[in-house]
Amino acid sequence: MKKRFIKGTLIIYPLYVLLVWLYLFQWADVGIPAAYEGTAADPATFMTDRELELSQEYSRYRNFLSFATIPLEWIIYIGVLVFGLSHGFKKFGERISRFRIVSIPVYVLLLSALTWFLTFPVDYAYRYLSVHYGISTQSFSSWMRDEMLGFWIGFIIMALLITVLYMLIRRFEKRWWLYAWVGLIPFIVLMMYIQPVIIDPLYNDFYELQNKELEEKILTLAERADVPADRVYEVNMSEETNSMNAYVNGIGSSLRIVLWDTTLNRLQEDEVLFIMAHEIGHYVMNHLYWNLFGLLVGSFIGLYAGYRILRFAFRKWGDAWNVKDMSDIAGLPVLYIVLSLLTFVATPVELAISRNAEADADRYAIEMTEDVDAAIGSFQELTVNGLSDVNPPALVKYMRYGHPTMMERIHMLESYNDEKSSP
């Protein structure tokens, strides 16, 4: 089995990477459709030749890295099983403690550390591209701090979830997926509540918006939309990036309206107000709660499908992997692979729903502000500062874009202007 794994990986993976390269750098059409040439959606009207060249390069390399590395974790998890590392991690955890509440987190830590180490070159490649093309301004030490912080936060959350899950699997052999889903509901709601007030501040400094006049205008927009906010927060992202962003997140008393300082520094006031109207639109149209509903439905389907697939996989290959049954923590890599594959299959649907929600928020924002020039200007500036590809290849759009392309968004704004001016 080891030889087949090595041989298959050395043949199939390089072929896959080659196909990805050919698609992105040779076959994909990156030109601007004739219907958009000369319009506000045409990057030639608001980007220099050099900026346009850099945006296409940066997007291609990032997309290549993203697609090329999709199978890497699957390969790692299969390798952990095939080479017996998973069984070794399990035995090490059991030597530390015979209690599963201790041995399972030890196993999760070992598997997480190995995966982090093997995928670190990919993370660094993303950082290199971002720095090379002038997007990231973050020092290496600061970036490593965020990497380690993310690792430990992820480990703590995953160790908790996996420990509870495997206790449920041992106790309820045929219904564990249902009880796990029920337990997931309060956990997801809790995470939505604590994310803005506990986790996000670990990475960046949040403080009240210094421009009180602008804050008053944003809060006026929020009041018109019945958004229960009494302050606007600013976050010092300029220490890390030249990109721009703003968002409304949290639920209940943890609700926050947040602006990156890069957005404040690079956009005009009316452009900032359009961006905030867009984010408020998400809140007004209950996109946060629809996302929660979608996550719960998706997790229900995913856990049930995972249960069925795991039963089949362990019956067929359990002995070869030295995994006793589904409740054996040594089989965790199989669970990771199955859930990852299910997530991959669901991604185009999730992104299509997200793009529709973003388009709705754009329409809400322009109807609220009625300032087409500011709206178009904000999107053009976002494109330039983020070196965004306004017209990505179809596969990239459907597998990576949670927003409509900038070409589509700007075209919608121009169409709104035409509709408004028509009798």
Measured CA to CA, the distance from residue 81 to residue 123 in angstroms comes to: 24
Domain membership of residue 194 (yes or no) is yes
Q: Name the strands in the sheet holding 232-235, side by side, starting at the edge strand that comes first in the sequence.
A: 206-208, 232-235, 256-260, 246-249
Contacts of 149 (CB under 8 A, 6+ apart): 202, 203
Read off the pTM. Answer: 0.92
User: How distant, in Å, are the alpha carbons of 46, 96, 98, 320, 321 from that of 92?
Assistant: 59, 6, 10, 20, 17
Q: What is the pLDDT of residue 421?
A: 58
Which of the four pLDDT bands, split at 50, 70 and 90, describes residue 30? confident
* pLDDT tens column, 146-167: 999 999 999 999 999 999 999 9
Q: Which of 106-120, 135-149, 248-262, 343-357 has the lowest mean pLDDT?
A: 248-262
Which residues, in sequence order, are CB contacts of 95 under 8 Å at separation 6+? none
Q: Is there a domain that residue 215 lies in? A: no
Structural domain includes residue 129? yes
Q: Is the pLDDT of residue 247 over 70?
A: yes
Q: What is the mean pLDDT of residues 283-292?
A: 89
Helix (H) or strand (E) holding 235: strand 232-235
Instruction: Report percent pLDDT > 70 for the chain.
Output: 98
pLDDT of residue 422: 54
pLDDT at 176: 96
User: Is the pLDDT reported for residue 378 higher than 60?
Assistant: yes
Please say whether the dihedral angle defined by the alpha carbons of residues 205, 211, 216 and 221, taken in this order, is positive or negative. negative
Residue 271 included in any domain: no
**pLDDT band at residue 26 under the 50/70/90 scheme:** very high
Question: What is the identity of the amino acid at 47?
Answer: M
Mean pLDDT of 356-373: 94
Is 67 within 8 Å of 392 (Cβ atoms)? no
Q: What is the pLDDT of residue 420?
A: 64
Query: Where on the phi/psi map is residue 370: left (φ > 0), alpha (ψ -120 to 50), or beta?
Result: left
Residue 278 marked in a binding site: yes
> Sign of the C-alpha dihedral, residues 62, 67, 69, 73?
positive
pLDDT over 80 (residue 253): no
Q: What is the 3-state secondary structure (H, E, C) of 37-82?
A: CCCCCCHHHCCCHHHHHHHHHHHHHHHHHHHHCCCHHHHHHHHHHH
CA angle 196, 206, 137 (to 5 degrees): 105
Task: Report the alpha-carbon distance of residue 54 to residue 135 in Å, rounded.
Answer: 11
For residue range 306-324, list pLDDT tens digits in order.
Answer: 999 999 999 988 888 888 8
Please, which residues have CB within 8 angstroms of residue 198's CB and are 6 or more apart in sequence? none
46 in any annotated domain: no
Amino acid at 307: Y
Mean of pLDDT values over 390-399: 93
As a whole number of angstroms, the distance between CA 170 and CA 314 comes to 15
Contacts of 85 (CB under 8 A, 6+ apart): 79, 114
* R_g of the chain, CA atoms, integer Å: 24
Q: Are 162 and 176 spatial neighbours (Cβ–Cβ below 8 Å)? A: no
Has residue 211 been placed in a domain?
no
124 in a domain, yes or no? yes
Q: Answer yes or no: is 229 within a domain.
A: no
Enter the tokens of residue 60. 């291609």
Give the structural domain span for 121: 2-20+51-204+286-421
Q: What CA–CA distance (Å, rounded) separates 264 from 256? A: 17
- In this predicted structure, the answer to whether residue 418 has a pLDDT above a threshold of 70 is no
Structurally, how many domains does the chain consist of? 1
Known catalytic residues are 279, 362
At 419 the pLDDT is: 66
The answer to whether 403 is annotated as binding is no
3-class DSSP state for residue 83? Answer: coil
